[in-house]
Structure 1
Amino acid sequence: MNVFYAVLLLVLATIVANTLYPYFPLVPQAFYQIFAGALLSLVPLYHHFILEPEVFMLLIIAPLMFYDGSNADGKELRKNIGSILSMAVILAILTVILMGYLSHAMIASIPLALAFALAAIVTPTDAVAVSSITTNIAVPERVMGMLERESLFNDASGLVAFSLALTAFTTGKFSVGGGIKHFLFVFLGGLLIGLILGVIAVWARVYLVQSGKDSASVIVPYDVLVPFLIYLAAEHLGLSGILAVVAAGLIYSASNNQLRLSSTQLQLVSRSTWSIITSVLNGFVFVLLGVSLPTVWVNIQQDDTKSLPIYFLLAVTLYLVMLALRYLWIRFDWALVHSDKSDRRKNALVGALSGVHGTITLAMAFSLPLTFNGAAFPFRNTMIFIAAVVIILSLLVPTIVLPFVLPNKELPVDPAAALKERKALVAYATDRLAQESTAEPAATQSVIEILNSQATDQRPDKKKLQTILNQATQVEVKTVQAFADDGTVPQSFASRYVRMLVLKSQMSSNNPFVNLTLWIRFVWHRVAHAVTHRMIHGLMRNRRRDKRIAQQRQQFQQRPHMPGQQAAQERRIARQKERGQRRPPRNQRINQQRRENFYKIEAGVYTNVIDFLTSIASVDNQTEVNTVRNYYNARHRRIDTNQDDSQQNELFIQAFQFEYTYVREQRNARKLSPELADELYQQISTDQMLYMQEIAATD
């Protein structure tokens, strides 16, 4: 149960950090996650927290590397194979050798083998960490591509070098020839087993799809399990599990055309699932770093407090030397980036600063053994501390320097402009739907409500919302007044309905004078109408009565009659009126009348309020109008439960056509850029695709 709570809190910390990031995007997301982890370390459950490296590599690194491989461009990899070997193999090995000797020279007490292990720990770079600090910065395309390709393969170089260094320290033996053979075996063997298992995984997936077993509940879990199984198989054979999952991911990328032979719904679910998994895992890494730092600090203070400045100086020196080495490597084009000479200096600086360390460095640091020959493993806490400082420096320095070197990223489509046009598009479609639809008003408004909910996720402005609510309430009152005036509903029921309406408004409004004014206006209208109505009705009733009496007297006088006949006739008429028709019980009759009156009022109010909201709707108040519309739609649906789904399907198809029409008209009028038009077309297509899938699923 403790494990469950530990994972739950880590996920919660990741969510909180990701939630705070949009409010202050100038600070990289990784720092929010590290800080959230540091706060989480105060929980007793994480005191003396120790990361299990095997579990970390399997559950976090394997799926992340597989995802990166499956999204890599195979053509670009083949085209830049020389650059990959230069950065991920040659530069990585040279960095390990140089950093190893430097570490041993600065702190002679660290054995040379452990110095090489430390160098191997801080060598691998992390493209995910680079992306987190360059979200709003325009990194040159050549440099970013080089960094992404490098991070796919240099992890394996660092892991193999780390394994060789640890073996040399624990056994006391090291052979250059044997080390090279072991490196090639692990490196090339991992690639080979990954390619073989990747082909098998793709073949099995295609078979499942072709045999009809292509439901999301089968294919999506299968895709998620593939990297774990391939990693475990490669590690069991003594090969690089990281390179194996990268190679398998590349096979998935190369087999993209075959994998697309599945339903659109399955592809959307699969992409969404992987997007969520990778987003959470990427945040997970830095939260774990934040959780681990306090434990590392406490342990190293217990070991040797006096040596802390030396360890910190070594970490800073290692980072600066690696920075200089990367700069020279790219500056003289040994990285085979093939950038123009005029851009080479700038690209070299950006490429050097973007050599950010993260996930693999953290995993290798914590994979150091806890004991050696029955005692604590020497310099374990020291090496973890140095690795943590290097990670933080590699995140902090580019965060500060890169904004001065590179311009802000210019998006092809401005998010604000896209949101505004999205609102206008939906407003156009809903307006035409409301005007041209021949379906039931409730069905039309239900479709309009769903379309509007997809247009924006902004919160409504309270003042605007309250103003529109008050206006809608006034429309309700006027409708009830009209029904009472023409006798559609009794005056007593109309008065009771308005009293309830005003009470509801008082509960939701901060201004009681608005509701008091509304009530006074209604009462004055009712009193004036009642007085006028009674006067007119009384005059008309008296006139009809007098006319009827005069006619009866005239008829009685014109025909012969016997004494007492007129009195008998009047008594018969009176008895007949008293008998009348049998009526239902009073309570039942009153309840039925109330329901009928309420249905009449609701139908009229709903129609008039929706017409009013449609007439005042605009792009500026769309969110507030939609909120009020949703309230009235929900209220009306509770009463009218006989809506036809087929009508809604037709209305959705019609609405999508209106949206396409809007984009086409705006594009022809040159009011939309080609990029923005393509973005809107893509959004409409995605919405239409998802809705058609829902229809197919419910049929």
Structure 2
Amino acid sequence: MEIFYAVLLLVLATIVANTIYPYFPAIPQAFYQIFVGGLLSLVPLYHHFILEPEVFMLLIIAPLMFYDGRNANAGELRKNMGSVMSMAVVLAILTVVLLGYLSHAVLSTLPLALAFALAAIVTPTDAVAVGSITANMAVPERVMGMLERESLFNDASGLVAFSLALTAFTTGKFSLGGGIKHFLIVFFGGLLIGLILGVIAVWLRVYLVRGGMDSSSVIVPYDILVPFVIYLAAEHIGLSGILAVVAAGLMFSISTDQLRLSSTQLQLVSRSTWHILTSILNGFVFVLLGVSLPTVWVNIQRDSTKSIPTYVLLAVILYVVMLALRYLWIRFDWALIRSENKDRRHNALIGALSGVHGTITLAMAFSLPLTLNGHAFPFRNSMIFIAAVVIILSLLVPTFIMPMLLPNKEVAVDPAEALRERKALVAYATERLAQENPDTPSATQAVIETLNSQATTERPDRQKMSEILNHATQIEVNTVQALADNGTISQGFANRYVRILLMKSQMSHNNPFVNSTLWIRFVWHRLTHVFSRRRHREQRIAQQEKWLKQHPQTAEQERLRAERIKQERQPRRFRRRRDSAADERRRENYLKIEQDVYNDVIAYLTDISSVDNQTEVNAVRNYYNARHRRFASKEISDQQNELFIQAFQYEYTYIRQRRSAKEVSPALAEEMYQQVSTDQMLYMQESSAAD
């Protein structure tokens, strides 16, 4: 159970970091995740916490690499295969060799084989981490494409080199020819087995869909299991599991047209599930880094306190050398990205700084064996610490320098303008619905409530909402008084309704303490009213009995008065049963008041609704809709289907009018069309599922 709780807290920490990031997006998301992980390390459960390396690679790296391969552009990858081989194989191997000898020279106590393993750990780049830093920057297209393609395969190059170095250290045997041969077999063998298993996985998925088993409960778990099965199969026969899942992901990318034969709902669910899963896994890695660093730090201090400055210096040297090597490689166009001469220096600098290290680097560091021949694996904590410093440097340096080199990204659609148009779109559709369907206010308002909920997620302004609610309450009072004036309801019933209404209104505006006080006062009033009414009834009966003794009556008069006294003495619940007709009249009066009040308030809200106060009006509208829904008829759900179709048509009409008048850009119009189309599709699917 400890493992379960530990992983659960890591996931929760990832969610917390992802929640904080949108408020301060200037800082890369990875730093929030590392910081939250550092706080989590204070929990006793994470003192000396260690995640099994094999489990780490299988459960985190395999699905991440499969997802990257699945989202890669196979056509662009084929066109730029020379660039891929140059950056992901040639440069990666050269970097491992150079950094391996350099690490051994700086830290002579580190065995040469482990120095090569350290070099292999810090070599792979992470395009996802680059994207988090350059989210709002206009990175040259050639450079970004190179980074994305490179990160697919240099991970595998680093992993294979890492495996060879560990094998050489643990066995003490290594030959250059044998190492190259093993590298080629593991590298290309992993690609081959991944392609074969990927084809089989795609064929089986298409077979399931065509066989009618295309429900999300079948296909989505199938998609998620594919990378784990392929990774395990490749590793079982001694090939690169990472390259196998990348190749399988590429087969899914190539087979996109076949995979689109499934329902749109399934595609949306699958895409959303993968996006959420990979987002959590990417954050999980950096949270784990934050959790592990304090333990690594303590272990290093226990082993050799004087070595920490040396480790930091080595990490800085490794990062600077990798930066220079990447710059020269791209500057002289050995990367084969075919930059223009005038852009080559700039692209080289951006490409060098974009060599951010992240998930794979940390994964390989944590995958170092825990023990060797029954003893703790030598230099494990030191290598993890050096890798962590390299990761942090590769995140920090571009965070400060890249904004000075790159302009802000120009978005095709301004988010603020898109939000305004979305609000105006919904306002237009809701206004047309209310005008065209005056005879079905309940069903119409239910549709309007749903449309408004999709327009914005902003929090309503409390002051504006309070003013609108006050006006709505006054309209209720006026409506009830008008019903009493024309004789529809009694004045006493109207007064009672208004008192309850004003009390509810006051409770909805005050703080919780005042609300509790009002509720207690209300309950006390009801209790004292019951007891006082009983006391007054006893007094009235006693007076009647006294009057009978003082004023002799006929036998019939005495009998009638005795029956009246007996009725007075009966409990109230029995007397109320005898007046069921009055109860029914009271219910009819309440329903009459509710319907008239609802119609008048909704008419007022429709009149004042605008783009500026849409959020506040919607909040008040939702309150009245929820209150009125208790009395709505069952026919409303049938009416809603027709009204939703009308609403979507009104939204399409609004977009077409705005685009024809050139009041919105084609890009914004296209985005609005997609939003409405998605809303319509989801509603129709939910409606058909409900039927």
TM-based fold match above 0.5: yes
Matched, 1:679 2:671: yes
Counterpart position of 1:28 = 28
Counterpart position of 1:652 = 644
Query: Which residues of 2 match residues 396-407 of structure 1 at below 5 A?
Result: 396-407=396-407
* Distance across 1 between alignment mates of 2:175 and 2:469: 81
One-letter amino acid of the structure 2 residue matched with residue 171 of structure 1: T
Are the aligned partners of 1:30 and 1:133 in contact in 2 as well (CA < 8 Å)? no
Shift of 1:411: 1.3
One-letter amino acid of the structure 1 residue matched with residue 131 of structure 2: S
Shift of 1:509: 2.5
The superposition leaves residues 357-388 of structure 1 with CA deviations (integer Å, 9 ceiling, x where unpaired) of 11111111122222333433222211111111
The superposition leaves residues 265-314 of structure 1 with CA deviations (integer Å, 9 ceiling, x where unpaired) of 11111111111111111111111111111111111111100111111100
CA RMSD in angstroms comes to 1.3
Shift of 1:89: 0.1
Are the aligned partners of 1:439 and 1:647 in contact in 2 as well (CA < 8 Å)? no
Matched, 1:663 2:663: no
Matched, 1:325 2:325: yes
* Distance across 1 between alignment mates of 2:284 and 2:46: 15
Shift of 1:643: 3.2
One-letter amino acid of the structure 2 residue matched with residue 170 of structure 1: T
Are the aligned partners of 2:442 and 2:636 in contact in 1 as well (CA < 8 Å)? no
Cα separation, partners in 2 of 1:239 and 1:283, compared to 1, 3 Å: same
Shift of 1:6: 0.8
Counterpart position of 1:126 = 126
Shift of 1:221: 0.6
Counterpart position of 2:594 = 602
One-letter amino acid of the structure 2 residue matched with residue 625 of structure 1: V
The superposition leaves residues 593-651 of structure 1 with CA deviations (integer Å, 9 ceiling, x where unpaired) of 21011001001000000000000000000000001100111111112242332211110
Are the aligned partners of 2:125 and 2:357 in contact in 1 as well (CA < 8 Å)? yes
* Distance across 1 between alignment mates of 2:2 and 2:369: 24
The superposition leaves residues 392-434 of structure 1 with CA deviations (integer Å, 9 ceiling, x where unpaired) of 1011111111111111122111111111110000000000000
Matched, 1:280 2:272: no
Counterpart position of 1:635 = 627
* Distance across 2 between alignment mates of 1:507 and 1:167: 73
Counterpart position of 2:687 = 695
Shift of 1:510: 4.7
Are the aligned partners of 2:121 and 2:162 in contact in 1 as well (CA < 8 Å)? yes
Counterpart position of 2:207 = 207
* Distance across 2 between alignment mates of 1:56 and 1:661: 52
Q: More displaced, 468-477 or 587-596?
A: 587-596
* Distance across 2 between alignment mates of 1:75 and 1:230: 23
Cα separation, partners in 2 of 1:441 and 1:112, compared to 1, 3 Å: same
> Which structure has the larger Rg?
1
* Distance across 1 between alignment mates of 2:119 and 2:101: 9
Counterpart position of 1:186 = 186
* Distance across 1 between alignment mates of 2:136 and 2:44: 37
Matched, 1:84 2:76: no
Matched, 1:614 2:606: yes
Shift of 1:587: 3.1
Counterpart position of 2:451 = 451
* Distance across 2 between alignment mates of 1:604 and 1:369: 75
Shift of 1:346: 1.0
Matched, 1:220 2:230: no
* Distance across 2 between alignment mates of 1:380 and 1:280: 26
| Identity fraction in percent | 78
Are the aligned partners of 2:137 and 2:406 in contact in 1 as well (CA < 8 Å)? yes
Query: Residue 454 of structure 1 aligns to a residue in which SS?
Result: helix
Matched, 1:5 2:10: no
One-letter amino acid of the structure 2 residue matched with residue 117 of structure 1: A
Cα separation, partners in 2 of 1:439 and 1:254, compared to 1, 3 Å: farther
Counterpart position of 1:144 = 144
Shift of 1:584: 10
Cα separation, partners in 2 of 1:584 and 1:287, compared to 1, 3 Å: closer
Are the aligned partners of 2:34 and 2:287 in contact in 1 as well (CA < 8 Å)? yes
Query: Residue 659 of structure 1 aligns to a residue in which SS?
Result: helix
The superposition leaves residues 503-534 of structure 1 with CA deviations (integer Å, 9 ceiling, x where unpaired) of 111112359xxxxxxxxxxxxxxxxxxxxxxx
Are the aligned partners of 1:460 and 1:627 in contact in 2 as well (CA < 8 Å)? yes
The superposition leaves residues 627-679 of structure 1 with CA deviations (integer Å, 9 ceiling, x where unpaired) of 11001111111122423322111100110000011111111111101111111
Query: Which residues of 2 match residues 421-432 of structure 1 at below 5 A?
Result: 421-432=421-432
Are the aligned partners of 1:38 and 1:294 in contact in 2 as well (CA < 8 Å)? yes
Shift of 1:51: 2.5
One-letter amino acid of the structure 2 residue matched with residue 591 of structure 1: D
The superposition leaves residues 445-473 of structure 1 with CA deviations (integer Å, 9 ceiling, x where unpaired) of 00000000000000000000000000000
Counterpart position of 1:58 = 58
Kindly tell me the number of residue pairs found equivalent between the two proteins: 628
Shift of 1:345: 0.9
Cα separation, partners in 2 of 1:584 and 1:495, compared to 1, 3 Å: closer
Counterpart position of 1:525 = none
Query: Which residues of 2 match residues 269-348 of structure 1 at below 5 A?
Result: 269-348=269-348
* Distance across 1 between alignment mates of 2:280 and 2:291: 16
* Distance across 2 between alignment mates of 1:267 and 1:334: 40
Are the aligned partners of 2:434 and 2:444 in contact in 1 as well (CA < 8 Å)? yes
Matched, 1:417 2:407: no
Query: Which residues of 2 match residues 452-471 of structure 1 at below 5 A?
Result: 452-471=452-471
Query: Which residues of 2 match residues 104-119 of structure 1 at below 5 A?
Result: 104-119=104-119
Shift of 1:438: 5.4
* Distance across 1 between alignment mates of 2:22 and 2:314: 35
Cα separation, partners in 2 of 1:350 and 1:584, compared to 1, 3 Å: closer
The superposition leaves residues 28-74 of structure 1 with CA deviations (integer Å, 9 ceiling, x where unpaired) of 11111110111111111100111322111111111111111111111
Are the aligned partners of 1:667 and 1:674 in contact in 2 as well (CA < 8 Å)? yes
Are the aligned partners of 1:610 and 1:629 in contact in 2 as well (CA < 8 Å)? yes
* Distance across 2 between alignment mates of 1:243 and 1:486: 82
One-letter amino acid of the structure 1 residue matched with residue 90 of structure 2: I
Shift of 1:439: 5.2
Matched, 1:242 2:234: no
* Distance across 1 between alignment mates of 2:339 and 2:638: 59
The superposition leaves residues 485-520 of structure 1 with CA deviations (integer Å, 9 ceiling, x where unpaired) of 100111110011111111111112359xxxxxxxxx
* Distance across 2 between alignment mates of 1:352 and 1:422: 41
* Distance across 2 between alignment mates of 1:647 and 1:78: 54
Are the aligned partners of 2:38 and 2:294 in contact in 1 as well (CA < 8 Å)? yes
Are the aligned partners of 1:326 and 1:352 in contact in 2 as well (CA < 8 Å)? yes
Counterpart position of 2:99 = 99
* Distance across 2 between alignment mates of 1:382 and 1:439: 76
Are the aligned partners of 2:57 and 2:367 in contact in 1 as well (CA < 8 Å)? no
* Distance across 1 between alignment mates of 2:196 and 2:374: 41
Query: Residue 579 of structure 2 aligns to a residue in which SS?
Result: helix
One-letter amino acid of the structure 2 residue matched with residue 612 of structure 1: Y
* Distance across 2 between alignment mates of 1:380 and 1:272: 37
Counterpart position of 1:570 = none
* Distance across 2 between alignment mates of 1:296 and 1:128: 25
Are the aligned partners of 1:368 and 1:380 in contact in 2 as well (CA < 8 Å)? yes
Query: Residue 42 of structure 1 aligns to a residue in which SS?
Result: coil
Are the aligned partners of 1:126 and 1:151 in contact in 2 as well (CA < 8 Å)? yes
